[in-house]
Amino acid sequence: MHPVRKQRLITVLVIVIASSIAIGLIIYALRGNLNAFYPPTKIVSGDVPIGVTIRGGGCVVPGSVERSSANLKVKFDITDGANSVSVKYEGLLPDLFEEGEAAVVTGKYMNGVFVAQEVLAKHDENYVPIEVKEAVAATGADHQKTCEVVKYDS
């Protein structure tokens, strides 16, 4: 084999191997940041992995918010119109967090309770997170009507 051809072959192999390692490391690093969204119906039915970080969301059930007077612990329920799931959270809730409004929670589902690490609330009166809208629509309901019914009929 000609020395120039051999040098090119080695260069190409080094680039391919380095690229493969870099892509593998990127995929491994991003793997922990992928959180699948599950509506309350799927969470209640047991279709979620136990102890794995996931996202869930729906409308906050009015009257379900219980705040601890001693610390920042909060417990509330979220619903998609068909089922609801209890959420426990310790920390400051967003300013826009309200009963009867849409919320998305990130955390782990363990022992029948969703233990949230993060709570996200909608940013204005017209916005509903796309995941919540799709989850409510999957139950055969309209997201606006579901949150309004949850808000005013409970």
Domain range list for the chain: 1-33, 37-153
The mean pLDDT value for 9-14 works out to: 95
CATH architecture of the domain with residue range 37-153? Beta Barrel (2.40)
Residue 53 has pLDDT above 80, yes or no: yes
- Phi then psi for residue 63, to 5 deg, are 85, -5
Under the banding of pLDDT at 50, 70 and 90, the label for residue 134 is confident
The winner for highest mean pLDDT among 21-30, 118-127, 130-139 is 21-30
Q: Is pLDDT larger for residue 109 or for residue 32?
A: 109
Q: Which pLDDT tens digit goes with each residue over 68-78?
A: 888 989 999 99
Which pTM was predicted?
A: 0.66
Work out the angle at residue 118's Cα, subtended by the Cα atoms of residues 51 and 33, and round it to the nearest 5 degrees.
60
How far, in Å, CA of 137 to CA of 120, rounded? 20
